[in-house]
Amino acid sequence: MNNTRRRFLKTGLMGSAAVAAGCTAEVSMDNEAAAEPWRPLRILILGGTGFIGPHMVREALRRGHEVELFNRGRTDSDLFPDLKLLIGDRDNGLEALEGGSWDAVVDNSGYVPRHVEDSARLLAPVVAHYLYISTISVYGDLSKPIDEDSAVGTLQDETTEEVTGETYGPLKALCEKRVISEVGAGRTTVLRPTYICGPGDRTDRYSYWPVRTMSGGEMLWPGTPEDDIQIIDVRDLANFTVDCLEKKTTGVYNTVTPKGSFKMGSLLEDCMAVTAANMVPTWVSADFLKKQESFYLPIWEDPTGENSQLLTVDGSRAAAAGLKNRPTRETARDTIAWWKTLPAERTATIKAGPTPEKEADVLGLWHEQNV
Ligand SMILES: NC(=O)c1ccc[n+]([C@@H]2O[C@H](COP(=O)([O-])OP(=O)(O)OC[C@H]3O[C@@H](n4cnc5c(N)ncnc54)[C@H](OP(=O)(O)O)[C@@H]3O)[C@@H](O)[C@H]2O)c1
């Protein structure tokens, strides 16, 4: 008999939420503790019915976990009729969360530090693990190489709650800080995705490329085929999110395709392969595009511009923790397949990228100057 006093937390009986609440029990055992049997996690998702949320919900359910949602009941409220929906508002309306307890919370819908702080403070005693979805937009200087230790952007006025193109990143950085200070770094995961792509994307930023390719004809491609880009397929993000909950992985992770692995030329090949379209690419230099007013192409960045490192973010930490990126062609294929299922009024206008007229104008000018 081994006289060593073995200590373990009685999580099997009490639930990890109770452990997180400080209700831990110390027991001594004479025998080796048996491996804890698998049990489903009870997961709360703040959000869950937008773009990334449904993928996370489905992945968690597929693996046998239990999921509850908290949102206002405005977005796609009948998407998951079988799930418990706690209705409330992150802005001073968290009552529906009171009295509950969960193994983990996934915070998808936090943009305002006060909202995130309120939910983190309320949930810290009753959840074991808080996973906050942040963004690579938190980084302050996108012209220098970026890893998780790079400095984040700051705001002159930290009380602002207005989410704009300029404040979005620094506000998310403050949200991260608030979660960590309320819940503690040892129980917090922060995921910083780059452009999230795939079926269900409401921004059309990635979808622009295969959808535009599908319409054929001469198409403007920016920069060179060697220009780096990065994305994260929403399903890979969802898988990694659930992995982190299951493995209790904590810390901060950039969630991106591996740095240097995806180029504009590969995007073009993906788009051609999944659309079989009669598209003719014309590569237009970054210098020329810089001079065009009101001309914006999603995801691509000028490799010599002030955001030059935005698409070469180091994702090795997440890869080492188990993030797996599917082939980008699969993202293109499934995005197009999903796009074709959408109603005509949704696909009549694509939300990102130039109008066909603007694209034709810029191409015309490019040809004039490059005869
Ligand atoms: N898209 C990208 O490329 C990208 C890149 C990096 C990071 N991100 C991050 O990804 C997250 C966005 O993902 P998503 O929109 O797809 O999330 P989601 O979980 O799929 O959807 C947003 C959810 O939040 C709920 N919600 C919105 N405002 C609320 C409020 N005031 N109170 C309670 N619930 C509220 C919505 O439901 P109701 O309307 O019914 O309340 C909806 O369920 C954000 O954290 C964003 O910063 C996105």
Note the pLDDT tens digit of each residue in 179-192: 999 999 999 999 99
Confidence of residue 277 (pLDDT cuts 50, 70, 90): confident
| Residue whose CA is at the smallest distance from ligand 1 atom 2 | 196
Q: Is 353 a residue whose pLDDT tops 60? A: yes
Nearest atom of ligand 1 to the alpha carbon of 73: 40
Mean pLDDT for 104-111 is: 98
Report the alpha-carbon distance of residue 283 to residue 287 in Å, rounded.
12
Q: Is 32 a residue whose pLDDT tops 90? A: no
| 223-245 pLDDT per residue, tens | 999 999 999 999 999 999 999 99
| Residue whose CA is at the smallest distance from ligand 1 atom 27 | 109
Which pLDDT score is estimated for 105? Answer: 98
Dist. CA 32 → ligand 1 center (Å):
45
Dist. CA 218 → ligand 1 center (Å):
36
Among 34-38, 157-161, 172-176, 351-355, which stretch is predicted with the lowest mean pLDDT? Answer: 34-38
For a mutational test of ligand 1's pocket, the pick from 45, 46, 52, i.e. the residue with the most ligand atoms closer than 8 A to its C-beta, is: 52
- Whole-model pTM? 0.91
Which pLDDT score is estimated for 280? Answer: 97
Radius of gyration (C-alpha) of the chain in whole angstroms = 23
Confidence of residue 34 (pLDDT cuts 50, 70, 90): low
| 39-77 pLDDT per residue, tens | 999 999 999 999 999 999 999 999 999 999 999 999 999
Dist. CA 80 → ligand 1 center (Å):
16
Residues at CB less than 6 angstroms from ligand 1: 47-53, 71-75, 89-91, 108-109, 133, 135, 172, 193, 195-196, 203
Among 12-16, 115-119, 313-317, 358-362, which stretch is predicted with the lowest mean pLDDT? Answer: 12-16
Confidence of residue 21 (pLDDT cuts 50, 70, 90): very low
Which pLDDT score is estimated for 276? Answer: 80
Dist. CA 131 → ligand 1 center (Å):
14
Burial readout 141-169 (b: 16 or more C-beta within 10 A, e: otherwise): ebeeebebebebbeeeeeebeeeeeebbb
Measured CA distances, 347 to 208, 278, 351 (Å): 11, 20, 9
Q: Is 97 a residue whose pLDDT tops 90? A: yes
Q: Is 158 a residue whose pLDDT tops 80? A: yes
Q: Is 2 a residue whose pLDDT tops 60? A: no
CB 336 within 8 A of CB 208: no
Mean pLDDT for 201-214 is: 97
Which pLDDT score is estimated for 28? Answer: 36
Mean pLDDT for 322-327 is: 98
Q: Is 274 a residue whose pLDDT tops 90? A: yes
More confident position, 76 or 8: 76
For a mutational test of ligand 1's pocket, the pick from 67, 71, 114, i.e. the residue with the most ligand atoms closer than 8 A to its C-beta, is: 71
**Hey, what amino acid is at 201?**
D
Dist. CA 71 → ligand 1 center (Å):
9
Dist. CA 114 → ligand 1 center (Å):
16
Dist. CA 20 → ligand 1 center (Å):
26
Mean pLDDT for 259-263 is: 97
Strand order in the sheet with 66-71: 84-87, 66-71, 42-46, 102-107, 127-133, 188-193, 251-255
Dist. CA 137 → ligand 1 center (Å):
16
Dist. CA 75 → ligand 1 center (Å):
10
Report the alpha-carbon distance of residue 361 to residue 2 in Å, rounded.
81
Dist. CA 73 → ligand 1 center (Å):
12
Which pLDDT score is estimated for 38? Answer: 87
Measured CA distances, 1 to 4, 7, 33, 210, 213 (Å): 9, 16, 14, 66, 71
Among 20-24, 239-243, 277-281, which stretch is predicted with the lowest mean pLDDT? Answer: 20-24
Confidence of residue 36 (pLDDT cuts 50, 70, 90): confident
As a residue count, the chain comes to 371
Nearest atom of ligand 1 to the alpha carbon of 89: 32
| Residue whose CA is at the smallest distance from ligand 1 atom 1 | 196
Q: H helices within 35-190, ranges in order?
A: 52-62, 113-123, 168-183
Mean pLDDT for 110-129 is: 98
Q: Is 269 exposed, middle or buried (0-12, 13-18, 19+ CB in 10 A)?
A: middle
| Residue whose CA is at the smallest distance from ligand 1 atom 16 | 51
Mean pLDDT for 126-155 is: 97
3-state secondary structure of 291: coil
Nearest atom of ligand 1 to the alpha carbon of 53: 20
H or E element at residue 280: strand 279-284
H or E element at residue 268: helix 264-275
Contacts by residues 299-306 (CB-CB < 8 Å, ≥ 24 positions apart): 299/195, 299/205, 299/206, 299/209, 299/229, 299/231, 300/222, 300/223, 300/227, 300/229, 300/264, 301/227, 301/229, 302/223, 303/223, 303/227, 303/228, 305/143, 306/142, 306/143
H or E element at residue 200: none
Q: Is 110 a residue whose pLDDT tops 50? A: yes
Quote the tokens at residue 277.
């379209």
Q: Is 31 a residue whose pLDDT tops 70? A: no
Nearest atom of ligand 1 to the alpha carbon of 133: 45
Nearest atom of ligand 1 to the alpha carbon of 205: 3
